[in-house]
Amino acid sequence: MALKLAIVGRPNVGKSTLFNRLAGKKLAIVDDRPGVTRDRREATGRLGDLDLVLIDTAGFEDVDDDSLESRMRAQTEQAVDDADVCLFVVDAREGVVPLDHIFAEVLRRKGGKVVLAANKAEGRAAEIGVAEAFSLGFGEPVALSAEHGEGMSDLFTALIAAAPDAYPDEDEAGDEDVEGDDEELSGPQVDPTLPLRIAIVGRPNAGKSTLVNRLIGEERLLVGPEAGITRDAIPVDWTWDGRPVRLVDTAGLRRKARVQQHLERLSTADTLRALTFAEVVILVMDANNAFETQDLQIADLVEREGRGLVFCITKWDLIENPAEKLAELKELSERMLPQLRGAPLIALSAETGRHVDRLMPAVFKLHADWSTKVKTRDLNDWLSMAVQRHPPPAVNGKRIKPKYMAQTKARPPTFVLFASRADQLPDSYRRYLINSLRDSFDLPGTPIRITIKSGTNPYAETEASDGRARPMTKRFRGAKPEKTPSWSTAGSGATAASAKPRTRSITVKAMKASIAEASGPAPKGLSAKGLAKVRTRLVRQTAAPAAKTGPQGATRSAAPKSGPPKAGAVKAKAPRPTGARPTGRPNSPKPAGPKGGAKGGPKSGPKNGKGRG
């Protein structure tokens, strides 16, 4: 059984630092100023092989009025009554002060087991303070340093001496180990009643701590008219209707621009951490100024974290017209937070207890919706109806076709939609699908995630690094680019992008046939490039030679081949003689000119009549 240990003492002696050291993690807020811790906080820890239930308390103040310090003292005394052993911490550097003697008298009147510890005992400066601690009357103090982890073995010995029943004997420990091995061999047993983690957040002085006290039925947390009393995120274990619940009361969240002090920044970070680890978040708002800008920002943060959200309106006993105010708040939540449409809204009074019984059923209903799983067949039936009712818009004249949908995880419900051109699907259509999912499967106020994906088109061509186009398939991803053969462009003018693997064999065969037709069988042992050169040379030799001109100016043509002309051949025309001038009629003399001369005879002189004599 774990030992319940309450860490008590006056302010600023290092109680929260020692609490974090024994818990093994930084749970409590630690600062140099005194009075940082106000509420008592519980956590589990371990020192050696000794299990501990730790209680961190506020610093003891000798006041007895209605102030905040008096209420903090009452919380400390309650922790002393609940603990098995009290660890009384003093400051070894400052020594024993009168407030230590006053608190020592309180502990002696309680009659519980007390272990005295002198913290900050590193170095010689603390030796005098350790010696002064003997005057408190609790025996030899344990010198330790919570910051540096010194003296933990001495503390373990002192706790075993103060509560020997908390440490099991060797025989009992051996029996427990054997039983544990039998349980492991029989199979792991999963506890179906895990506590539901609920974070209660809101602005300062909204009534969060009062609501927690009303739910659990005791004054567990500090409450009062002062704003910002709660600093730490205080977990409280509770049972509702036979189901375990862990309520986490958090510090009020203010606007980021107004958070100036270091201590308030630590409180805000602790609140955000509690919100992250929660399953359901209750947003507490004052009925007189609900849904302000800070409330909307907190609600949006909860939705982005994927947590279920319940709106809680407190101080409802101060509203004169509850029905009208409730309708106004519901309309405001639907209009200002459309991404959380249908989230439950509960109006109650934590001071009087009115309508408090409506809160937890709404929380468990939301948690069931948050953990829901939808069958794939039902999802695709819904998808076809949703697309028929409202098809996705065409982008750049091309339709977007939703094809398949499945749920990948719950808490929150997350879905994957496969569609063509997924990157071009507008956000408006995504919101339409989310709202339709909420309405069709009864998931009001539940955050829903939809991821749009598109499959890889195996016929889509992309530009490779070498300039060639190749299909984007798994076979070609990561493969080395093929070299472009030299024969693929020989004499054909084809580009590298249009070359195919069979082009080489077809081209070589055609060249060999052409060479065999022109000059016999092609030479053996030649490459494709050599065959191309031989073919080109033979084509030039067998082609019709161009006309040649002789020395006399006469034109000679190649002698025609003997034999009958082939069918369809065109008869070549006879060449025209260049020496004689053509006449109008064949074999007829030219008539004489008008100025004499024999008719048809040659000219007797120049054409212009000159040179006669």
* pLDDT, tens digit (0-9, with 9 covering 90-100), for 441-496: 999 989 999 999 987 766 665 554 455 555 544 444 444 555 544 444 444 444 44
- As a whole number of angstroms, the distance between CA 372 and CA 438 comes to 12
Give tens-digit pLDDT for 35-48.
Answer: 889 899 999 999 98
Furthest C-alpha separation in the chain: 173
The lowest-confidence range among 184-198, 318-332, 427-441 is 184-198
Look up residue 139 and give its amino acid.
Answer: G
* 8 and 102 Cβ atoms separated by less than 8 Å: no
pLDDT of residue 170: 52
Mean pLDDT score, 307-312: 96
Domains and CATH numbers, the chain: 3-186 (3.40.50.300), 196-369 (3.40.50.300), 376-453 (3.30.300.20)
Q: Is 90 exceeded by the pLDDT of residue 87? A: yes
Among candidates 238, 197, 235, which has minimal Cα distance to 214? Answer: 238
Q: What's the rounded mean pLDDT across residues 87-98?
A: 94
Q: Which of 32, 33, 25, 101 is nearest to 56 (CA)?
A: 25
pLDDT value for 565: 52
Q: What percent of the chain has pLDDT over 90?
A: 55
Sheet with 402-409: list strands edge to edge: 402-409, 414-419, 449-453
pLDDT (average), residues 295-301: 95
CA-to-CA separations, 56 to 49, 86, 148, 446, in angstroms, rounded? 21, 11, 19, 36
Distance, CA of 231 to CA of 598 (rounded, Å)? 143
Q: Looking at this protein, which amino acid is placed at residue 598?
A: A
Q: What is the pLDDT of residue 458?
A: 66
User: How do residues 235-281 score in pLDDT, each as one tens digit?
Assistant: 999 999 999 999 999 999 988 888 878 888 899 999 999 999 999 99
Q: Cα angle vertex 169, ends 86, 155, to 5°?
A: 35
Q: Check: CB of residue 46 under 8 Å from CB of residue 3.
A: no
pLDDT digits (tens, 9 = 90+) for 334-365: 999 999 999 999 999 999 999 999 999 999 99
pLDDT the model gives residue 65: 79
Instruction: Grade residue 168 by pLDDT with cuts at 50, 70 and 90.
Output: low
Among 86, 6, 2, residue whose Cα is nearest residue 42: 6
pLDDT at 414 over 50: yes
Please write the tens of the pLDDT for every residue from 557-590.
444 444 455 544 445 455 555 554 554 454 545 5
Least Cα distance to 411 among 375, 446, 360 occurs for: 446
Do 449 and 412 contact (CB within 8 A), yes or no? yes
Q: Which of 206-210, 310-314, 370-374, 503-507 has the lowest mean pLDDT?
A: 503-507
Residue with tokens 């930084």: 26
Mean residue pLDDT of the chain comes to 80
* Percent of the chain surpassing pLDDT 70: 71
Average pLDDT over residues 173-185: 39
